[in-house]
Amino acid sequence: MEEPLTRVGPTVLAVFLGLASFEPAPPDGVVSAQQPAARPPLSILTREGRRSLTVAARDPRELLFLDELADAFQLTVREDTLAGGITVSYKNRTIILTPDQALASVSGRLVSLSSAPARDGRRWLVPLDFISRALSLVYDARLDLRPASRLIIVGDLRVPAIGIRGEQAGPVARVAFEISPRVPQTITQAPGQILVHFDADALDVSIPTFAAAGLVSGIRTADQTTLAIELGPRFRQYRSSMGGDGSTLRTTIEILGDETTEPVGQPTPLPDAPPEALFPSLSTALRTAVIDPGHGGSEDGARGQAGSLEKEITLNVARRLKAALESQLGIRVILTRDGDETVPLDHRAAIANNNKADLFISLHANASLQRIARGAEVFYLSVDGYGDEARRTAESAGHILPTFGGGTRDIQVILWEMAQTRYIEASAALATIMEEELRTRVELSPRPVQQAPFRVLVGANMPAVLVEMGFVSNAEEEQRLTSGVHQSLIVQALLNGVVRFRSYLEQRRTTSPGGASPPKKPTGASRP
């Protein structure tokens, strides 16, 4: 006997609608027999932070719950129970899904998916590539799906993919990083660690298990943008090199043990060159550097709109730079002040002169009545106010004085206000090098290299520059200048500049005075 139409069951109705391959939704509280297994979640990275998405699996597929996607990406989901379709909307743009088809209609355009939508109880699931193949076409920010890393990156975040490889060769352990796309990085040494900080918003990294007897005990994440190489008891020193091609940067850190007496291999000269002690053939023309943190004590210097003080910014950067120069170049570094104290301008140059420094770098933060002024600048001394006579006097042979026991001796006597004039060419070279290195990491002003009659430079009897690291009067730059990440970028640029300037000094030792020009970056070296 034919059953009345009113008694047609849900399965018959599903066949009538072309949905026979799908079972009806179970009552509330009943779990479907096809309930997918859980997999490691995906992380959504945005400027605002990180959140997780549940990942379910119906082997071999990985699926996402559509309601969770809707909540995370502000989507509207509407199911047409009669037609069997699902409409996903975002700001008047639509994606239409059909449960039995691995296709999506995106604003009228058909795109393929790895699998059709599936139902789990009262919830719908879509394949992972729904994000990259469908949602990314209607969303107003870039969506970068990285299934292997369990990441969805929203917007223009810098999240480099980093591969790590470790190996040991005799007394040397090597840790190699392959970074794509390349981003600036800072390598510093901390107690028991070598820290590699990347100028990024997050890292896409898989850390292998690596240990080298007595040299490396492991590698771990120190924070979301820093990796730490944990050092063993045999560690003595390290060196680093950079290379790569296209958008990929390769950084290799070599960790040397107590028994290492010769440099291993033939590393390319690079900005973050190793300590002098490991490479005796390198120039010893740069043995002592003096770093001058501007202002201090009763002299606050420039003040930012948020209350940041120039004297505090300069001291923080100076301490970082001192640590980097000592650990990576093995040179002696002296600060003109290591606390909040007042140091007269002439005393700062005197500290450098009395310690026979080979280099003087004065650090400052700029200010302007124009709040839009921004960017770093490098200055070297202008002697326009002293004239040609000052230069001739400074470059004279000196004085002939009698000595005890008879005879005479040439004594170099330089007037205080003429000390720097004999180093103008070298200081100009140093300023040019520093500008080039800063340009790779921070924003520069429209006039990045200038001359000015700064009193702190006048008495320095060695190559000397003054670095204005940015405008603290600019609210945006003030925030950057007080950031540890930005300060690390400045330090890395200045460190690279010192290495290049050391090469310049070596050239001057083998050429006539004034015959060397500012050195180009060594062949094979690359800036991140």
State in words which class domain 36-154 has. alpha beta
Nearest to 485 by CA among 293, 229, 199: 199
Mean pLDDT for 186-210 is 90
Q: Which residue has the tokens 């002040």?
A: 337
Instruction: Give backbone dihedrals phi and psi of 188, rounded to 5 degrees, phi first.
Output: -135, 160
Give the pairing type, strands 376-381 and 444-452: parallel
**Structure confidence by residue, pLDDT tens digits, 106-152:** 988 899 999 999 988 889 999 999 999 999 999 999 999 998 889 99
Token pair in block for residue 220: 């771990």
For residue 414, the model assigns a pLDDT of 40
Q: What is the pLDDT of residue 415?
A: 44
CA neighbor of 122 nearest in space, from 35, 56, 230:
35
- Give pLDDT tens digits for 13-37: 222 223 333 333 343 333 344 455 6
Per the model's pLDDT, the better-predicted residue between 318 and 34 turns out to be 318
Residue 375 confidence (pLDDT) above 80: yes
**Cα(292)–Cα(318) distance, rounded to whole angstroms?**
7
pLDDT classification of 482: cutoffs 50, 70, 90: very high
Q: What is the pLDDT of residue 30?
A: 34
Across the range 254-264, mean pLDDT stands at 63
Mean of pLDDT over the chain = 79
Q: Cα(517)–Cα(524) distance, rounded to whole angstroms? A: 20
pLDDT digits (tens, 9 = 90+) for 400-413: 333 333 343 333 33
Calculate the CA 300 to chain-centre distance. Answer: 29
Portion of the chain with pLDDT greater than 70, in percent: 76
Note the pLDDT of residue 510.
Answer: 62
Mean pLDDT of 494-502: 92
In this model, does residue 491 exceed pLDDT 90?
A: yes
Quick check: 231 pLDDT over 60? yes
CA distance 39 to 456: 63
Percent of the chain scoring above 90 in pLDDT: 48
pLDDT of residue 242: 76
Asked whether residue 247 carries a pLDDT value surpassing 50, the answer given is yes
Region 262-290: what's the mean pLDDT? 45
pLDDT at position 123 is 92
Report DSSP state, residue 102: S
Report which of 302, 412, 292 is spatially closest to residue 343, judged by C-alpha positions: 292
**Least confident range of 120-129, 249-258, 414-423:** 414-423
Residue 519 above 80 pLDDT? no
Q: For helices 484-509 and 424-439, give the axis angle rounded to 10 degrees.
A: 140
What pLDDT band is residue 2 in, cutting at 50, 70 and 90?
very low
CATH topology of domain 288-509: Aminopeptidase (3.40.630)
H/E element, 308: none
**DSSP summary character for residue 303:** B
- Least confident window among 57-66, 280-289, 346-355: 280-289
**The pLDDT of residue 399:** 37
pTM above threshold 0.85: no
Q: In the chain, where are the structural domains located?
A: 36-154, 161-267, 288-509
DSSP single-letter state for residue 267: P
Extract the runs of DSSP E, i.e. beta strands, from 286-443. Answer: 288-293, 332-335, 359-366, 376-381, 399-402, 408-411
pLDDT(307) > 70: yes
The residue written with tokens 């002003």 in the block is 445
Q: Residue 526: in which H helix or E strand, if any?
A: none
Range of lowest pLDDT (84-88, 182-186, 244-248, 479-483): 244-248
Instruction: Select from 2.60.40.420, 2.40.40.20, 3.40.50.620, 2.60.40.3470 the CATH code of 161-267.
Output: 2.60.40.3470
